[in-house]
A and B are shown apart, each in its own frame.
Chain A
Amino acid sequence: MAAAPQDKSRKPRKPTESMDRDELLAAYTTMLLIRRFEEKAGQLYGMGLIAGFCHLYIGQEAVVVGMQHAIDTGDEVITSYRDHGHMLAAGMDPKGVMAELTGRSGGYSKGKGGSMHMFSKEKGFFGGHGIVGAQVSLGTGLGFSNWYRENDRVSLTYFGEGASNQGQVYESFNLANLMKLPVVFIIENNRYAMGTSVERASASRDLSLNGVPWGMPSFSVDGMDVQAVKAAGEEAVAHCRSGKGPFLLEMKTYRYRGHSMSDPAKYRTREEVQKMRAEHDSLDSAKARLLELGLDEAGLKKIDDGLKAQVQEAADFAQASPEPEPGELYTDVLVGG
């Protein structure tokens, strides 16, 4: 597969049946959890319970869930500020995530990080980064640590197509393939960086080719199809684990909501958004497939109801959890004081 990566990258790969019924159901459930969680976060923001910047992942769920199904416990994940989905997919507790969004002591960063900055050593989630592109070099460093220790772990490094224009991304690509570091670079191409479409920001017309000058194998993937994502992810991860170096995946996806909560959304039409939602929604297609595989509406509705209750519980927890103690202001600046 690494033989002619450039050819493969020209077109999104064909949807693949990479999951059996149970696995697809599990993936669907996680995607739906992310969606319900994000809807609730949007609501709480509107009520002033969440403040600052809050970037929702609605529309992109298949990317992170598909990739999570391609890795093993012990592999690492790092991403940008659009991070709620990545944390839920990594198995972090919705209560702790939501409580961080409300800035309470029960949050993953004790309320000190907020929506953009959460971490979980236990779940291999390394944040949660606010400076566009910065996590790409950090993710390369996660890969470096695995190379150094000669284990077979892989790190997933997510970034937006807007971030893919930052210089340190290419410095990282070079380092990673030069040193054969086990990093899967994942561009979440949701077509917009705030109000700038990919066409207005990138001279490169095919982002999956951006690793080619460094000899990095790559391809584009239909990021709205969780099974296609998983299949691509497995290939990339296998390549990394076998010591052959990094891999680049361009996920073609779409965000339904604004960039953050304060997005006037004048840079795209409502029709464009509605069309994506109506025709390419990852949850709709996964659900349709599950029905074909013999599940019934009532069963799926029950799952949805359960998730809504779980998310409501997280929201209740996030409001009931107390604010951090004033003394927390001074802790964690340096180890040992």
Chain B
Amino acid sequence: MVDILMPALSPTMTEGKLAKWLKRPGDEIKSGDVIAEIETDKATMEVEAVDEGTMHEILVEEGTEGVPVNTIIARMGGDEVAAPKPEVKAEAPAAAAPAKPEAPATPAPAADPAYGETKPTTVREALREAMSLEMRADKDVFLMGEEVAQYQGAYKISQGMLDEFGPRRVIDTPITEHGFTGMAVGAAMNGLKPIVEFMTFNFAMQAIDQIINSAAKTLYMSGGQMGAQIVFRGPNGAAARVGAQHSQCYASWYAHCPGLKVVAPWSAADAKGLLRAAIRDPNPVIFLENEILYGHSSECPVSDDFILPIGKAKVEREGSDVTIIAFSIMVDLALKAAEALAEQGISAEVINLRTIRPLDIDTIVESVKKTSRVVSVEEGWPFAGIGSEIIATVVEHCFDWLDAPPVRVAGVDVPMPYAANLEKLALPQPGWVVDAVKKLF
């Protein structure tokens, strides 16, 4: 008998819905046959049999949601011709468990009474809604990138948008980042308002010349005659186990350059409000999303008028002893650390930067004047990172209020390793923030 396990079908999948069984007990199965359909947060996928034999029993009925990866979902009777089979199966669930991080409970964003009615929304939905609202309102806005149209988005951000807006406004490109980015910037110079999706920001490196030399500098070089109203967006930073070339944070790369705005949302409300602002902003905006956050749900204003200002940070948690400043997924970490610190009697204020450039110096300074201690948290590398900028800013503006030297928490200064244990060691953990804070007292 061979156990059929709930398969992991993507780098970030921890559970899924067993949508449909295509084989029933008694059915013959050949290798390559589709036995079931499974829905992840990204897509419905077919599960192919690797072994040959007969379906024996089904243990998880179709329609079941939230089936954890590696659950035994069915049993199959083997047959002699098949491969020397799963000695592996027995120890598999145990061995596999540590490879898939537990989906952490998302700390909730602080309430924003100002924006009226809210509903639980994923970051993915919020981004889609922001683009759709702006595209309905302005015919010059269009979306372009690899797999954004027919495939419905590599990460399903643009799902359904081709249907609504048609192929002139939701455009699949070949894998030619440098070329299509230049094309989009040229279109923006001539008055259109492109949203360029990079499948991930790792691939925007192919196009960084056009982003910096063309998009960021044209307004200045033309003496203000023409610029580029354009948004470059996509997942940034580490996903899970995708290795050195697919896991890095570009916040400090883009934040370095005058002529660009750089935004990094954390919650669904951030995503919706800030992406709308980015699309309407007359300047090039780098919009750094995070793949792991796409599926996270939080309360988001439902109003079609909801928008957030670029350049304003948000205090997600108030506190009096230390200021922890973070952006994107590191806000989760900062909030968890604040929770742990509270148990130890330390009251931490957590600032979600929302925008990296222009940096909201006022909010930072106001908080540090209150707490007299500051820790920055980022996933990217420490050297010349966003933390360096935050700390320089604090030192310039409120040195006399500080009771302890500021501290940076950052990703380890190495390319991202693939191995599960090493990757964990490379990325900031809540404990690192707690330790950093405790050094200040």
Q: Which of A228-236, A289-297, A312-320 contacts B (4 or more CB under 8 A)?
A: A312-320
Q: Mark A299-314, 1 if CB is under 8 A from B, else 0.
A: 0000000001100100
Q: How far is the CA of A326 from the CA of B420 in the complex (A)?
A: 11
Task: Check if B63 is an interface residue, CB within 8 A of chain A.
Answer: no
Whether B172 lies near A200 (C-beta < 8 A) is yes
Task: Check if A205 is an interface residue, CB within 8 A of chain B.
Answer: no
Q: Which of A67-75, A129-137, A181-189 contacts B (4 or more CB under 8 A)?
A: A129-137
Q: Which of A166, A257, A258 contacts B176 (CB 8 A)?
A: A166
Q: A48-B8, A308-B83, A328-B417 are contacts. A162–B175 as well, Cβ < 8 Å?
A: yes
Whether B46 lies near A53 (C-beta < 8 A) is no
Whether A329 lies near B95 (C-beta < 8 A) is no
Give the tally of cross-chain contacts (CB within 8 A): 201
Q: Provide the residues of chain B in CB contact with A49, threshold 8 Å.
A: 88, 92, 95-96, 99
Q: How far is the CA of A270 from the CA of B175 in the complex (A)?
A: 25
Q: Provide the residues of chain A in CB contact with B151, threshold 8 Å.
A: 194-196, 266-267
Whether B146 lies near A262 (C-beta < 8 A) is no
Q: Provide the residues of chain B in CB contact with A117, threshold 8 Å.
A: 243-245, 418
Q: Mark B73-113, 1 if CB is under 8 A from A, else 0.
A: 00000000001101111011001110110000000000000
Please report which residues of chain B, range 1-20, place their CB below 8 angstroms from some CB of chain A when the two chains form the complex.
5, 7-11, 13
Q: How far is the CA of A312 from the CA of B51 in the complex (A)?
A: 14
Task: Check if A25 is an interface residue, CB within 8 A of chain B.
Answer: no
Q: Mark A77-112, 1 if CB is under 8 A from B, else 0.
A: 000000000000000000000001001100001111
Task: Check if B252 is an interface residue, CB within 8 A of chain A.
Answer: no
Whether B418 lies near A131 (C-beta < 8 A) is no
Main SS class of interface, A: loop
Task: Check if A333 is an interface residue, CB within 8 A of chain B.
Answer: yes
Whether B96 lies near A48 (C-beta < 8 A) is yes
- Closest B residue to A52 using CB positions: B241
Task: Check if A46 is an interface residue, CB within 8 A of chain B.
Answer: yes
What's the minimum C-beta distance from B198 to chain A, rounded to whole angstroms? Answer: 12
Q: A277-B32, A312-B84 are contacts. A262–B421 as well, Cβ < 8 Å?
A: no
- Number of interface residues, chain B, beta carbon within 8 A: 69
Whether A113 lies near B418 (C-beta < 8 A) is yes
Q: How far is the CA of A265 from the CA of B47 in the complex (A)?
A: 11
Task: Check if A193 is an interface residue, CB within 8 A of chain B.
Answer: yes
Q: Which of B37-45, B308-316, B346-354 contacts A (4 or more CB under 8 A)?
A: B37-45
Main SS class of interface, B: loop
Whether B9 lies near A262 (C-beta < 8 A) is yes
Whether A48 lies near B243 (C-beta < 8 A) is no
Q: A194-B154, A196-B147 are contacts. A51–B99 as well, Cβ < 8 Å?
A: yes
Q: Provide the residues of chain A in CB contact with B146, threshold 8 Å.
A: 194, 196
Q: Which of B92, B205, B240, B422 contacts A47 (CB 8 A)?
A: B92
Task: Check if B50 is an interface residue, CB within 8 A of chain A.
Answer: yes
What's the minimum C-beta distance from A142 to chain B, rounded to whole angstroms? Answer: 19
Whether A131 lies near B154 (C-beta < 8 A) is no
Task: Check if B192 is an interface residue, CB within 8 A of chain A.
Answer: no
Q: How far is the CA of A44 from the CA of B83 in the complex (A)?
A: 14
Q: Which residue among A47, A258, A266 has the maximum number of chain B CB atoms within 10 Å of its CB?
A: A47
What's the minimum C-beta distance from A168 to chain B, rounded to whole angstroms? Answer: 8
What's the minimum C-beta distance from A111 to chain B, rounded to whole angstroms? Answer: 4
Task: Check if A214 is an interface residue, CB within 8 A of chain B.
Answer: no
Whether B87 lies near A316 (C-beta < 8 A) is yes
Q: Which of B95, B147, B425 contacts A326 (CB 8 A)?
A: B425
Whether A196 lies near B172 (C-beta < 8 A) is yes
Q: How far is the CA of A51 from the CA of B99 in the complex (A)?
A: 8
Q: A48-B70, A163-B175, A262-B10 are contacts. A111–B422 as well, Cβ < 8 Å?
A: yes
Q: A47-B70, A49-B96, A196-B174 are contacts. A329–B422 as well, Cβ < 8 Å?
A: yes
Q: Which residue among A51, A104, A130 has the maximum number of chain B CB atoms within 10 Å of its CB?
A: A51
Task: Check if B292 is an interface residue, CB within 8 A of chain A.
Answer: no
Q: Provide the residues of chain B in CB contact with A333, threshold 8 Å.
A: 413-415
Whether A52 lies near B203 (C-beta < 8 A) is no
Q: Mark A149-181, 1 if CB is under 8 A from B, else 0.
A: 000000000000011011100000000000000
Task: Check if A284 is an interface residue, CB within 8 A of chain B.
Answer: no
Whether A167 lies near B243 (C-beta < 8 A) is no
Q: How far is the CA of A162 from the CA of B147 in the complex (A)?
A: 12
Task: Check if B206 is an interface residue, CB within 8 A of chain A.
Answer: yes
Q: How far is the CA of A246 from the CA of B34 in the complex (A)?
A: 43
Q: Which 10 A-B pairs have CB atoms at the shortest separation, nearest pair first?
A: A114-B418, A46-B7, A262-B10, A48-B96, A52-B241, A111-B419, A130-B245, A103-B419, A195-B151, A264-B43
Q: List 9 A-B contacts (CB under 8 A).
A: A51-B241, A112-B244, A114-B242, A116-B243, A117-B243, A131-B205, A165-B176, A196-B151, A326-B425
With A195-B150, A312-B84 already in contact, 15 other A-B pairs whose C-beta atoms are closer than 8 Å: A48-B69, A48-B70, A51-B99, A51-B100, A52-B241, A100-B418, A111-B417, A111-B419, A132-B175, A133-B175, A194-B151, A264-B42, A323-B419, A329-B412, A329-B414
A-binding residues in B (CB < 8 A): 5, 7-11, 13, 31-32, 34, 40, 42-48, 50, 69-70, 83-84, 86-89, 91-92, 95-97, 99-100, 146-147, 150-151, 154, 172, 174-176, 178-179, 202-203, 205-206, 239-246, 412-415, 417-422, 425-426
